[in-house]
Amino acid sequence: MRTPLLAALLAITIAAPALADDALIARPEVQQYIGEIAASENMSRDKLDALFAQVELKPNIISILDRPSTSRPWHQFRGNFVNPVRIKAGARFWRANAETLAAVSARYGVSADVIVAILGAETNYGSNTGSFRVIDALTTVAFDYPRRADFFKKELTQFLLLAREEGVDPLSFKGSYAGAMGWPQFMPSSFRQYAVDWNGDHHRDIWNNADDAIASVANYLAAHGWEKDGPTMDVVNVNSDQVDALLADKFNLHYSVAELMAKGVTPLTEVDPKRQAVLFALDTEPDFTRYYLGYTNFYVITRYNKSTLYASAVLELASDIKAAYLNGEDLTGAAAKKPAPVKSSGSWGKPKR
């Protein structure tokens, strides 16, 4: 039987040192937020007060967010994701979860190698899912980082809802400094929309359960328009005075291949001229830029992470993992970790219907 949430929170209060920021719960904007979601989401205000009394603000997260962003060229970026260690680990993960990958791929139409590559790129197959308490991370940014406050307040609400839905202690979730969670690094809103309970244990456990993590990635890609067995990207030649304008539109499928060809883009392989595509460039060497067309499936990967570098790395990693798996290069070393039980800590009350 599940214990009421308040009892669980009181137990935490007794067992844990007083590390929370006492000033947080007294802040007017925090009290306003608690009052709003208590009313709109049918949650107990007393239980929310008890929960936020345990939240710890993390100033180091603000420092991380304030670091100047640096954009590395492809020839430097690539090695962080596409390397022998990650490739071999991906092939081992595939072999350890081959049955699930085959079933998930058949259900959603998403290639197994791409699913494995995304889990490898995000968390190295679950080995680095983040050490911050998710509620600490989300609350810190929601109330102490005005530039992203609106977005993170929405994600904080989504997190509280998913904790209620999953019946899991909201203080027990761990994730990245931005609140991304589990092997796929889903934000709470993505979790609620795309996470899958593949093994039927009534928990969408993307932290410990490979089956759920695999299916959740596939569901996300399928929901964003993945085309089964569709092409991803091709090398092209470019002879156009419009290249800068075309490159600036790198996250939108505004043109067909035929329209891009009319603008001076020449595919080096045969491709359906009616297919939608986007032009992008990679600095493959310090003084050399190569141009590519990305098709619908490439675009879908940029919905997971809005970066052509990321999508390119995922696809190259996927190809290398598939080759290693088929060649048996993974037959030494440990397999992926097995699912662990999910900690339940009581009900969050009834969701509004």
Element (H, E) at 165: helix 149-166
Q: Are 204 and 186 in contact (CB under 8 A)?
A: no
CA 157 to CA 236: how far, in whole Å? Answer: 45
CA 78 to CA 116: how far, in whole Å? Answer: 17
- Alpha carbon distances (Å) from 316 to 57, 79, 80, 121, 309: 39, 11, 12, 11, 11
CA 47 to chain centre: 29
CA 87 to CA 217: how far, in whole Å? Answer: 18
Measuring CA to CA, which residue among 49, 60, 58 is closest to residue 26? 49
User: Regarding beta strands 265-267 and 233-238, do their DSSP bridges make them parallel or antiparallel, or are they unpaired?
Assistant: antiparallel
Residue 122 falls in the annotated catalytic set = yes
Q: What share of the chain is helix, strand, coil (3-state, %, to 5)?
A: 50, 10, 40
| Long-range CB contacts (within 8 A, 24+) of 323-328 | 324/87, 324/88, 324/90, 324/91, 325/90, 325/91, 325/94, 325/95, 325/113
> Looking at 122, 227, 316, 329, which residue is catalytic?
122
- Phi–psi pair at 174, nearest 5 degrees: -115, 150
Element (H, E) at 290: strand 288-294
State the first-to-last Cα distance of the chain, in angstroms, to the nearest integer: 24
Scan for tokens 């390119």, then name that residue: 312
Neighbours of 230 (CB within 10 A): 15
List the catalytic residues: 122
